[in-house]
Chains A and B, each alone.
Chain A
Amino acid sequence: MEVIPEKEKEVKKMSEENGLIYRISGPVVTAVGITPRMYEVVRVGDEGLMGEVIELHGDQSVIQVYEETSGIKPGEPVVRTGQTLSVQLGPGLLTQIYDGIQRPLEDLEETMGAFITRGVDADGLDLKKKWEFDATASKGDEVSAGHVIGTVQETETIEHRVMVPPGKSGTIKSIKSGKFDVTQTVCTLDDGTEIAMMQEWPVRTPRPFVRKYAPDVPLITGQRILDFLFPLAKGGTAGIPGPFGSGKTVTQQQLAKWSDAQIVVYIGCGERGNEMTEVLTEFPHLIDPHTGKPLMNRTTMIANTSNMPVAAREASVYTGITIAEYFRDMGYDVALMADSTSRWAEAMREISSRLEEMPGEEGYPAYLSSRLAEFYERAGRVQTLAGDDGSVSVIGAVSPPGGDISEPVSQGTLRIVKVFWGLDAGLARQRHFPAINWLSSYSLYPQALDQWYRDNIASDFPEIRTEISALLQVEAELQEIVQLVGSDALPIDQQLTLEVARMIREFFLQQNAFHDVDTYSNLNLQYTMARAILAFQDEAKKAIAGGADLESVVNVQARTDIMRGRFEEGYEERIEKLVKEMGKQIAATMEEN
């Protein structure tokens, strides 16, 4: 992208500069004697710690440092690198676990041992590993940025598509298949431009695409309450706010496991170390229901836990979303989970307060909401530069203090995302999981997705959904009366409605993430289960009109079997039969009376 003579000038200028540390305050270091660009990466102190310029102020450059700063002194050197914070993109991203600035945690363990010390550099990609590159473009082809020129089987299930990096184009002079490492030239263009499998991209800049489409395909997660009532579209955005212990992480992990994205980027941003370890130990053994291969094959993880440096936490979401966009550019559907965006916002707040910026609400910087918006804007279903279809779906957890979502991060998020999965402390306390409140949650996608459901699942899918949500609404209203007079005082048809709603809650909405069978329901099964509930309602109404009592209708064995059956293998094959049986048994209750 940059013309060479200019770059040489730059390097010369940089080496003439003699930067020194002027001040250190936690992760923020001020340097004098250098004139870097905004967001340029610099090396700080005798140990050469990595930092990024975040403010220019007279002759001072303010730097956020990605590693612990204790023991560093004013007067130590600061050196420019001329580069902005970037990630390395190419084969080798999948199955990896990185820190917030794309250092592989495995490499860090090798050089530092089990505890993360500082001053160690590590490449995001293994530069030595040889990959089998299979050229798909040929000599003489006219190619431009984003064009796929060859493929690499990166993992058992994922084909990595090697693309012409943004900013480059021309006619292919030579291209060869074979074994290469990621820095070797695999393709040369007419003008001498050399293309390797690896490209770099600055994390704070969205990668280019042709245009955004309106999402119209659901991201299927296998989680009943999500898919059925509050669906997310491929390329869409969702926020999951909830107090501690309400199920944000479990929900995010469920999505990482079961959603039908082709690539998953999971960012543990300022959360627990053990949770990342859990993903690391579990995923290689979990089988992707869509490919039959280990889930790890499609996953990249970023782990910058709560006790790792905050500046790197701030960077971690950008590192993650850039990797996600890169796979999107290959034409994949990517799902990105960020747990938790509140910790990211807090990192911004901490840095901002060290900069003595004018604080906005609750001490967060005034630019909090624009940063949130910019981040979620990087989601979307796009036409890639190569003309394919690709998407990045973004699901962000939010951790509001005291569970109160009137705070700035929740509010800033809700203004942007199209899906709101509101976790409820009360439900979690009742062990109703997933503790997603069905009355306050919403999705703005159903309209756009309904045609897809009609075409692919059932022509009346949207109507069934509406009936189910309506029943839950009616229940909420009836519950208010019950609080006052008790349920026995209600007319029988309303008592039945309460029973039906209870069935929806306990049988359909509740879903145990830790149960081998219940953890995932495909859409067809979800639809059948919803139909079973409505069938119960219809049969029960008829029976009651015919003189049956509610108690015996509710207690028919087949209904219990339907409800318990969801924990058993082969349920999908049995449920239709059970529904018929339930119909017969309910009808029989009329004769009893």
Chain B
Amino acid sequence: MSGKEYRTITDVKGPLVFLNKTEPVAYGEIVQLRLSNGTMKNGQVLDTSDDQVIVQVFEGTSSVDRQTGVKFLGDVFRLPVSKDLVGRILDGAGRPRDGGPAIVPDEMADIIGAAINPYSRESPESFIQTGISAIDACTSLVRGQKLPIFSAAGLPHNDIALQIARQAKLVGSDDDFVVVFCAMGITAEEYNFFVHDLERTGALENSALFVNLADDPAVERLITPRLALTAAEYLAFEHDYHVLVIYTDMTNYCESLRQIGAAREEVPGRRGYPGYMYTDLAMLYERAGLVKGKKGSITQFPILTMPGDDITHPIPDLSGYITEGQIVISRELHQKGIYPPINVLPSLSRLMNAGIGDGKTREDHKSVSDQLYAAYAQGKELRGLVAIVGEDALNERDLQLLKFADIFENEFLRQSRDEDRSIGEDTLDLAWNLLTNIDTKYLVRLDQKWIDKYHPTEKKE
């Protein structure tokens, strides 16, 4: 059947093409379209029956007409994978974009990817030090976790992602990360920013890039992350790499998903997004983790911009339901000039408990983290009260907490873009120093034994 070209298009609707009776065509099969003007486009079968086939066209359907030739290629979408992917830049459909040669495949991997058998998974528990205090102390990341960055337009999520990519390491191990970077509909400017930074630090040689930019076909975005994750799985589970996957911007991905749904006239779920968006996103996010008997790992950092800064919007909401926590970027902190503007209060790492403590980070980590969180939360709440009743109405404890909130933001959260803080001597010790601004009798979350051991002025030696 491959080879035969059909000219039986009946309807074209948005990114979809409807064809009349063909030879049997497989569900998910890839398709090539040849336009009258000679342009080639690619697509994939979304629905197939004896009478009709529906094809989604990655490059959009502009200029497609009833004369367009349609060829079914007899296979599902596959990515040529090999170790040589590392150091390469590919486009959103997996073709070289860096002027380099085609990838000589070791294997042609199905990009949909199979689910990891839950029985075959291993629990993630190795702490990754990002060198960013807010993350390391309060929402600690572990190898194999999927931890998205919830951001919004105009905030420095890209800087944070890059800083993580540069600095991420396992304490006490020199295993390096390979970065798989996946761009979905970001601007050329943002893309250049990423590439220059990766070049500047020499990380580009250790990265594989899959790039679909804002002016690239929107529907192609639906496959770009699947290519990136297919590459990541191959590198992690066939070649023992520890892979850090950064993909941005999930919001553009979801828009493309909505576009297809609308063209198919599906009954929409919330705010027009397809009802299956949860499952679709899970098919990406769940491709993270560790597998028993394999040395490599996949850690994911999806970046999404929350439309209208709204965390209950379906894109962050469904993501939060799948990922293992989230890092929330705050406009308020950003406007105060604090980098990285991470709001630790709504941020969460669900795998933190497994990755910290004695032998992993430090014995006092949990205690310190809880105390920082509690003190900052209370201090921040007091700001609201002070706005109404004034500082005079506060008692001693509240005054200390109020002041602490500022100190926490200015000295703990704030760090420079190339400042790489170690978890123990830098981050946790800094936390102890800052906590001296509060009387120990108010530090109820700290175990006495850690006060005795680590408190700069109260410790017993």
Contacts and interface: CB of A to CB of B under 8 A. Distances in A.
Contact of A245 (B26, B112, B116, B348): B348
A71 B29 contact: yes
A399 B49 CA distance: 35
A106 B119 CA distance: 6
Contacts of A486: 389, 393
A350 B124 CA distance: 31
B377 A430 contact: yes
Contacts of B200: none
B27 A308 contact: no
B156 interface: no
Nearest to A268: B118
A115 B50 CA distance: 32
A80 interface: no
A71 B26 CA distance: 5
A4 interface: no
B201 interface: no
Interface stretch (B174-182, B289-297, B333-341): B289-297
B278 A306 contact: yes
B370 A114 contact: no
Interface string A329-356: 0000000000000010010011001000
B353 A112 contact: no
Nearest to A359: B267
A22 B48 CA distance: 8
Interface stretch (A213-221, A271-279, A315-323): A271-279
B26 A116 contact: no
A306 B26 contact: no
Q: Interface majority SS on B: helix, strand, loop or mixed?
A: mixed
A116 B275 contact: no
A429 B326 CA distance: 13
Contact of B27 (A69, A116, A359): A69
Contact of A272 (B75, B114, B324): B324
Interface in A1-32: 22-26, 30
Interface in B147-203: none
Nearest to B312: A402
Contacts of B144: 274
B283 interface: yes
Interface stretch (B315-323, B400-408, B417-425): B315-323
Contacts of A72: 26-27
Contact of A431 (B113, B124, B289, B374): B374
Contacts of B75: 71
A447 interface: no
B286 interface: yes
Contact of A305 (B115, B318, B346): B115
A278 B283 CA distance: 20
Given A24-B47, A70-B27, A72-B26, A274 B289 contact: yes
Contact of B286 (A76, A305, A349, A402): A305
A140 interface: no
A303 interface: yes
B410 interface: no
A268 B286 CA distance: 14
A40 interface: no
A440 interface: no
A363 B289 contact: no
Given A75-B24, A116-B114, A307-B115, A244 B275 contact: no
B325 interface: yes
Contacts of B105: none
A86 to B, nearest CB: 23
B282 interface: yes
Contacts of B286: 272-273, 305-307
A29 to B, nearest CB: 9
B48 A307 contact: no
Interface in A36-92: 68-76
Nearest to A364: B275
B123 interface: yes
A21 to B, nearest CB: 8
A308 B314 CA distance: 21
Contact of A349 (B275, B291, B313, B353): B275
Given A30-B49, A70-B112, A274-B123, A114 B294 contact: yes
Given A105-B118, A274-B324, A431-B373, A346 B27 contact: no
Contacts of A105: 117-120
A73 B28 contact: no
A431 B370 contact: yes
Contact of A278 (B123, B345, B348, B389): B123
A274 B293 CA distance: 16
A349 B268 CA distance: 11
Contacts of A362: 269-270
B76 A116 contact: no
B239 interface: no
A520 to B, nearest CB: 17
A109 interface: yes
A116 B317 CA distance: 27
Contact of B276 (A68, A244, A350, A430): A350
A70 B117 contact: no
Which of the listed residues B27, B112, B294 has the most CB atoms from chain A within 10 Å of its own CB? B27
A245 B320 contact: yes
Interface in B90-147: 112-124, 144
Contacts of A349: 269, 275
Given A274-B124, A277-B122, A71 B279 contact: no
B122 A353 contact: no
A26 B353 CA distance: 38
Contacts of B374: 431
Contacts of B268: 363
Contact of B312 (A117, A274, A403, A431): A403
A431 B377 CA distance: 10
B120 A73 contact: no
A305 B320 contact: no
A307 B117 CA distance: 10
B350 interface: yes
Contacts of B291: 114
Interface in A361-402: 362-363, 399, 401-402
Contacts of B452: none
Nearest to B265: A356
Interface in A423-446: 429-431
A108 interface: yes
B266 interface: yes
A310 interface: yes
B246 interface: no
B267 A114 contact: no
A71 B276 CA distance: 21
B24 to A, nearest CB: 4
Interface in B363-388: 370, 373-374, 377
Contacts of B25: 73-74
A351 to B, nearest CB: 10
A155 B282 CA distance: 35
A590 interface: no
B342 to A, nearest CB: 15
Q: Which 4 A-B pairs have the closest CB atoms?
A: A70-B28, A23-B49, A306-B282, A402-B312
Given A70-B112, A116-B117, A280-B118, 13 more contacts: A23-B47, A23-B49, A24-B47, A24-B48, A24-B49, A25-B27, A75-B24, A109-B119, A112-B117, A245-B326, A277-B123, A306-B283, A350-B276
7 contacts: A74-B49, A113-B120, A272-B322, A353-B266, A353-B267, A401-B312, A431-B374
Interface of B: 24-29, 46-50, 75-76, 112-124, 144, 237, 266-270, 275-276, 278-279, 282-283, 286-287, 289, 291-294, 312-314, 317-318, 320-322, 324-326, 345-346, 348, 350-351, 353, 370, 373-374, 377, 389, 393
Interface of A: 22-26, 30, 68-76, 97, 105-106, 108-109, 112-117, 243-245, 268, 270, 272-274, 276-278, 280-281, 303, 305-308, 310, 343, 346, 349-350, 353, 359, 362-363, 399, 401-404, 429-431, 486, 514
